[in-house]
Structures are given as C-alpha cells and as structure tokens.
Amino acid sequence: MIGNKRANILLLLIPTLAIMAFFLLSILAIARDSFNKFVSPGIMEPAFTLENYLMFFTTPAYLNVLYRTIRISLVSTALSLIIGYPLAYYIVRGSPLIRRVCTSVTLFSFLTSILVRVFAWRIILGRTGLVNRVLNAFGIPSSASYLGTELAVTIGLVYFLIPFVVFTLVGVIDKIPIELEQAAKTLGANEIITFLKVTLPLSTPGIMAASLISYCLGMSAFIIPLLLGGDQVKMLANIIYDQCMFVVNYPFASAAAIILLVISLVIIVVYQKIVTRGLKY
Amino acid sequence: MKKIRIDKVAKVFSIFALVCSVFFLLLPLIVIVGSSFGDTPYLTFPPVGFTLRWYFEALGLKQFVQPLLISIQLGVFVATVSTILGLLASLAIVRYDFPGKNLLNNLLLSPLIIPLVVTGMALYRFFTTTGMRAPFINLAIGHIIVTLPYALRTIEACLQVFDVTLEEAAMTLGANRLQTFLKVTFPLIKPGVIAGWLFAFAMSFDEFVVAIFLSTPGFVTFPVEFFYYIRWSINPTVAVISTFLIIYVLVLVIILDRTLGLRSVLGILK
C-alpha cells in the first residue's frame, strides 16, 4: 500500500502536470522572445538585448498607456470596493431573503458574458443612451457620447470588478464572529461606531485582498478598454494585442507581455503574504 | 434615545447603499433586455415603441450558427477534460501529503493570476512557431488551461468535506478500489463534479481573450463572432442576442443553485 502512494500521486497528477508544463513552456518562450531583436514585421533575430524593454520605458506613448492603466485600475479598485462592500456585508449578515437576492444578483452579473455587460454600458453611455435621455428629460440638452473616455472605461471596469470584490470580502466578513459586534452594542456603541471600530477593522484583510485582486484584474483589462475606450483610451493589454497581431513586432509584444506578467505576479505575492497573515489574526 | 436615532439613520443609510449597489449591478442587464424591444433602428433605453421584429431578425442571422456550434462543442469537450483532470488532481491534493504540494497548488491556480492576454499571446506564438494549425485543438488546450482552476476548486471543495471512513468501510466489506470509487466516492462528490463541469463550460463558452488570439478566419468561437458583430453594427439585434445570453445565465444560476447552493458557489469563486 505504502509503495503505491508515490505511484498513485503521480498517476493522478501526470495529465494535469503535462498541460501545465506546456503552458509554462509557452510563457518561457515569449520571455525569451522579449530579448530578441526586431528586424521587420513577423521577423526577429535571436539576440540578448534589452532594447525592447528600453523602448517601452522610454517612449512617451507607451509610458502614457502604462500610467493610464495604473490610474484607471486604482480608481476602479477603490470604487468597486465602495460598491461591493455593502453587498458582501449583507450576503453575510442580511436576512435570508436579502442574502439570497444579493448572492444571486452578484453571481448573475459575474456569469453574464463580459461582452454583453460591456455592450450594455455602450447603450447607457452612448449618444442616444440612458445618460443623455435622463439629462434631456430634466431639460439639460446633451447629445455627447461618453464612449472613448477614461470615465467610460472606469465605469465598465468597476462593473466588471464588483463580483470579484464581493467574493473575496464575503470570505473574510464571514469569519468575523458576530458576538464581537453584539458585545460592542451591548457595551453601548451605536451601529456606526460598531461598524467603524469593530466590523471595518476586522475586515481589513479582506479589503486588502480584494483591492489587490481588483487591481491585478484591472491592470490586465482588455475587452473593456477595447469596447468602451476605443483608440483613444488604450490600456496595456491592448498594446500587447496590437503589437502582436497588427504591428507583428513579436519581441516588443513579448516584452510588454512580460512587463504585465511581472506586475501581476508581484501583486499576487503581496496578496498571498497578506492573506496568510490575515488568517492569523 | 439618541442612540436609537443614530442606529436608525445608520440602518437606513446602509440599506440605501445596498439598494444602490444592487441597482448598479442590475442596470446594464435591464437596459439590454429593455432595449431589445425598442422600435427604433438604433439602440436606446428606455425603448421607444415596442416591437418583436428584432427577435425575428436576430434568429435569421446566419453568421452566428457556425460559431455557436463551435463554442458549444468546444465548451463540452473542454469542460469534460477539465473536470476529469481536476478530479484526478484534486484526489491527489486532498488525499495525499507530498513535498511541493503548495507549489503545485499555486501552479494549478496560476492561470487565474496570469493575465489572459499573456496566456493568449503565449499560446498563439507557441502554436504558430511549432506549426500546430488545428484551431479546435489549440482552442481546447487554451481553454482547458483557463478553466482547470475552476473545475479543480469546485471538486476540491467537495472532496475536503468527504468522509474517508465511508471508503474504508466499503473496502473492508470487500469492494475493490474501482468499485469503491464508482459506488461510494463518486456518487457523494457528484454535485461538485457537476458544478465543476458547469463552471468550466460556462468559462469556456464565454471566454474571449484567448479565443481571439487562437481563432482563425474559418474557425471562430461565438464570443469572437459576437465581438466583430458589436464592433461594426449597433442595431437592436445585438440586444436580442444579449438577451438570449442573459436567459442562458439565468438557467445556469438556477442549476448551480440546485446542485451546489449559491452560497457554496461564492466560496469557490473567491
């Protein structure tokens, strides 16, 4: 039986490991490509040069995209936390009916095709959209389109991020013993003080974790800027796609992809540190 | 007295915040469904007039038939492979202790962390440089990688609460390993397996970023075709197709609720 153990583990894991190895290999391949020299579209020369990375960090156009990506991700993260927190709180502490409604709505939004969700915002923010119709109804003439602005991309991103924030927060708020809140209230604290001094501080690990996840997802947003930002508001992922498929500059596209990957991995390492520390409180 | 009043204000405020959040989440879905009935050649909300003609027009859009079939076949294939791989791997992870288990877990969940654009581009480059030109296989590999974490987590969650003594009892009573698995283990973790399959299917069916890298002109998945359609036309048939997709999600949520319960679904997704 014991001799079997190693064989068992291997047998169970081999198929999965094979496909993951393939995946890692393909990522290593673009990491290698990122040091190659660009010759002409689709053609590169094997080399060990940093010029692709240098080009990324010295060209104002690309730096602007990087700054914009960071800015939009930060703002979206903050907003999705504010909108997601009440949902998460009531999924844990609400009455059975409220719990059910909040859970279904969050899941429903999460599972709905991202293209559909983004497209809906095009109807809301477009020239004949809901925003303009509401403004017109109040006698404010407006026929401007909000598409192609950072605002549109931010709204779309916030909408996309909320379910992730809720999932993460629910896990943490669920672990806060309700007795602590009850004790605070028995000792004379009102609802606001109880929330500010007990519930909110105890959900900090969740807020941190949710922020990092949202930020990470925001940094790699692709469809949302593509459909709501157009050519005016491109983010990092769009640059990678354009460089790979249209400009066909594989070394540069690879370098940009590796930059995005490194940013994401750093965020996740920090995230894991926080989550493991959070569990100990 | 004062405390009661503050409590009331706090309650009203927090309920108000909740209503706003729920409204924000539902608004786009309401807008989509509502605008699909509008009797204008452009999309607007609230709809002007009422007509079902966009529904008939959408059903006549031939270009979506092939991509839809491709996406369903791909989804079924990917979900089945991901579920089997996820089941095997989670058995190893939950049942055995071995060195490097943590690293393995991180590796298996890495597709959730690695930006999809990077995954898509890496696979696209790999397939083109190695001359692998079978789009179905390429897309399937991409989607198995992306959906595996969901299948794995769902089944893992079920296995973790599984009572191993039931298996021991079956084996003591003379069942062999296969019999034990088929008659005891599998029936008990079936809800997790079904939900894992559904998640993998839903993720593959909706996946766009990897698919746009790996689709070829003659072989396009439904989300990619839909993307090209909404990029160039903005007439109400788009809202009709979106409404169909929303109905599909509604069915999905109901099935997930029946198999796993919505609350455990949340736990898996975090």
CA distance B221 to A129: 29
Read off the pLDDT of each residue in A70-86 and give the average, rounded to a whole number.
96
Q: Give the CATH number, domain containing residue A70.
A: 1.10.3720.10
Could you tell me if B139 and B198 lie in one domain? yes
Q: Kindly write down the DSSP assignment for every residue of B223-270, as one continuous string.
A: HHHHHHHHHH--STHHHHHHHHHHHHHHHHHHHHHHHT-HHHHHHHH-
Residues B96 and B207 in one domain: yes
Is residue A23 pLDDT above 90, yes or no? yes
Does residue A266 lie within any of the structural domains? yes
Residue B43 and residue B98 share a domain: no
* Residue B239 resides in a domain: yes
CB contact under 8 A, B43 and A126: yes
Residue B148 domain-assigned (yes or no)? yes
CA distance A103 to chain B (A): 7
Helix (H) or strand (E) holding A108: helix A96-111
Taking the C-alpha atoms of residue A244 and residue A50, their distance in angstroms, rounded to an integer, is 18
CA gap B83, A64 in Å, rounded: 42
Q: Is residue A46 part of a domain?
A: no
User: How far does A60 lie from chain B, in Å, by closest CA?
Assistant: 22
Question: Mean pLDDT, chain B, as a whole number?
Answer: 90
Domain count for chain A, please give it: 1
Per DSSP, the residues of B102-127 read: HHHHHHHHHHHHS-HHHHHHHHHHHH
| Chain A nearest-CA residue for B41 | A128
What pLDDT is recorded for position B270? 66
Query: Nearest-CA distance from A277 to chain B in Å?
Result: 16
Give residue A29's pLDDT. Answer: 96
Half-sphere exposure of B153 (CA within 13 A, CB side): 21
**For residue A277, what are its two tokens?**
């520390």
In this structure, is residue B58 part of a structural domain? no
What's the pLDDT tens digit per position in B93-141?
A: 888 888 888 888 888 888 888 999 999 999 999 999 999 889 999 999 9
Asked if the model's pLDDT at residue A279 lies above 70, the reply is no
Taking residues B147-154, what's their average pLDDT?
91
Which tokens go with B41? 């050649």
Is the separation of the CB atoms in A121 and A155 below 8 Å? yes
Position B172 in a domain: yes
Higher pLDDT, A250 or B259: A250
| A130, A190, A191 ranked by CB distance to B31: nearest | A130
The pTM of this model reads 0.91
pLDDT above 90: percentage of residues in chain B: 49
Q: Which residue has the tokens 């654009």?
A: B117
Name the residue with higher pLDDT: A199 or A277. Answer: A199
Domain count, chain B: 2
Query: Residue A251 has what pLDDT?
Result: 96
pLDDT at A1 over 50: no
Does the residue B166 lie in any domain?
yes
- Chosen domain end from B53, B72, B95: B53
Residues B80 and B114 in one domain: yes
* Cα nearest neighbour of B140 on chain A: A19
Q: Return the residue of B nearest to A248 by Cα.
A: B125
- Compute the distance between CA of residue B200 and CA of residue B206 in angstroms, rounded to an integer: 10
**B126/A29 touch (CB, cutoff 8 Å), yes or no:** yes
Average pLDDT over residues A22-41: 95
Q: Which of B222, B7, B251 is nearest to A115 (CA)?
A: B222
Q: Does one domain contain both B131 and B25? A: no
For position A256, what pLDDT does the model report? Answer: 97
Which one of B15, B24, B208, B243 makes the best mutation probe of the A interface by having the most chain A beta carbons within 10 Å? B24
Domain range for A94 is 53-278
Q: Cβ separation of A16 and B148 shorter than 8 Å? A: yes
Q: How buried is B44 (Cβ within 10 angstroms: 0-12 exposed, 13-18 middle, 19+ buried)?
A: buried
- State how far residue B183 is from chain A, nearest Cα, in angstroms: 19
Judge: A103–B263 Cβ closer than 8 Å, yes or no.
yes
> Residues of B with CB below 8 A from A187's CB?
none
- B228 and B141 in one domain? yes
CA distances from A69 to A224, A243, A251, B120, B208 (A): 12, 17, 21, 19, 20
Contacts of A80 in chain B (CB under 8 A): none
Contact check, Cβ <8 Å, A115/B226: yes
Tokens of A81: 């936390």
| Domain assignment of residue B16, given as a range | 2-53
Q: Between A123 and B121, where is the model more confident?
A: B121
Q: Which amino acid is at A86?
A: P
**What is the CA angle B100-B104-B105, rounded to 5?**
120
* Rounded Cα distance, A235 and A72, in Å: 9
Place of tokens 């997802």: A217
Q: Which helix (H) or strand (E) holds B49?
A: none
Q: Which residues of A touch B64 (CB under 8 A)?
A: none
> Given the structure tokens 């504010």, which residue do they identify?
A82
Does residue A91 form part of some domain? yes
> Using the beta-carbon criterion (under 8 Å), do A264 and B114 form an inter-chain contact?
yes
Residue of B31, B121, B262 with shortest CB distance to A124:
B31
Predicted confidence (pLDDT) per residue in A40-65, tens digit: 998 999 999 999 999 999 999 999 99
Helix (H, G, I), strand (E, B) or coil at B100: coil
Angle at the Cα of B21 (from B15 to B26), degrees rounded to 5? 125
Q: Are residues B87 and B44 in the same domain?
A: no
Q: B41 and B117 in one domain?
A: no
Same domain, B187 and B91: yes
Domain membership flag for residue B154: yes
A191: distance to nearest CA of chain B, Å?
Answer: 5
**CATH assignment of the domain containing B118:** 1.10.3720.10
B42 within some domain: yes
pLDDT tens profile A149-204: 999 999 999 999 999 999 999 988 988 888 888 888 888 888 888 888 888 999 98
Cβ–Cβ < 8 Å for A148, A229: yes
- Tell me whether residue A20 is in a domain: no
Q: Is B98 inside any structural domain?
A: yes
Residue B1 has pLDDT above 70, yes or no: no
Domain assignment present for residue A272? The answer is yes
DSSP annotation string for B67-87: HHHHHHHHHHHHHHHHHHHHH
Q: Is residue A141 included in any domain, yes or no?
A: yes
pLDDT band at A281 (very low <50, low <70, confident <90, very high): very low
If asked whether residues B8 and B92 sit together in one domain, one would say: no
Note whether residue A31 is domain-resident: no
How confident is the model over B49-72, as a mean pLDDT?
91
Both tokens assigned to B110: 């890495």
**Confidence at A133, pLDDT banded by 50, 70, 90:** confident
- B164 shares a domain with B35: no
Is the same domain home to B35 and B131? no
